[in-house]
Each structure stands twice: as C-alpha cells, then as structure tokens.
Amino acid sequence: MDAKHGTPRALTEAEIHEYVELYAQAARNAIEAGLDGVEIHSANGYLNDQFFQDVTNQRTDKYGGSIENRSRFGLEVVDAVARAIGEERTAFRISPWNTSMGKFSSLHQLERETDLICLKVCTWPTPSHNTPTSSVN
C-alpha cells in the first residue's frame, strides 16, 4: 500500500458489529428513499466477500478459519438487514467461484459441504409491469 492509504488491518469485533449495523441502517435508508428492496453485494471483492474468501480472510477468531466462521459476518449482515426491512425486501449476492482475489477460493465447497447459507432470490415488480424480475449470476 502507499503512504496515503496505509497497510490494511483486520477489523476489531466491535468494528464488525458496527459495520453490521451500518448495513442495516443503509437498508432502512434505501426503503425510506422509496426503493423496493436491497441486494447485499457479497461478491467480487466487496467486504462480505473478503470475509468469505480464505485467500483474504486470515483471521483466527470466530470470523476466520472454517467456512462456517468465514460466513458469520455475511450471515450477521443478512439477519440485521432482514430484521430492519423485512426478508421479502432482502436479497444476497455471492459468487463462490469468483477468482477476483487472485486464486480460486475454497468458498465453492460451501454448496457441497454445508447448508449454512440458504440463498433466497428475491423478486420485486418493476414499475413498468407486474411481472417479478430477478438477477442471478
């Protein structure tokens, strides 16, 4: 890293809890602004993806190590957002076969090894018609 940005460091557990609440507040703000729902982007190197990926998550606490632990932050975010705005308005995007972190991550094992994450694709009517739409990668 350069002098302007400094060296990255792991978030403290207190900071993690603060970020979870920030996601929930952002979702509340989106609904208040008139949006139908939110999609929590947890792929392509975004913060949740950095927790999921074994190539970036080098933590040794309850947020690192096993797939279940690396999934903890993302699941806490989903739970907080769903409580804030409702499950029917909450979508979650992951990309388990993503190589944006420089190599193939072991996150792809999640689908085969555990039922820890249940990905619910939410659909919302668009203003132009009443047919539900969804986006799945």
pLDDT digits (tens, 9 = 90+) for 19-43: 999 999 999 999 999 999 999 998 8
Q: Which of 19, 23, 46, 63 is catalytic?
A: 46
Binned at pLDDT 50, 70 and 90, residue 102 comes out as low
* Cα 82–Cα 85–Cα 90 angle in degrees, nearest 5: 50
pLDDT digits (tens, 9 = 90+) for 39-60: 999 888 889 989 988 888 999 9
Output the pTM of the full model: 0.72
- Which position has the higher pLDDT, 1 or 20? 20
Q: Give dist(CA 71, CA 49) in Å, integer.
A: 9
Q: Which residue has the tokens 């999640």?
A: 110
Tokens 């705005």 belong to 85
Closest listed residue to residue 121, CA positions, set 113, 109, 133, 131: 133
Query: For residue 95, what pLDDT is reported?
Result: 74
Would you state the pLDDT for residue 92? 87
Residue, of 17 and 55, whose pLDDT is higher: 17
- pLDDT above 50: residue 126: no
Higher per-residue pLDDT: 98 or 80:
80
- Which pLDDT value is given to residue 22? 96
Domain ranges of the chain: 13-133
13-133: CATH class: alpha beta
pLDDT over threshold 80, residue 3: no
Q: Judge whether 46 counts as a catalytic residue.
A: yes
d(CA 117, CA 72): 10
> Looking at the predicted structure, is the pLDDT value of residue 122 above 50?
no
Which residue type occupies 59?
R
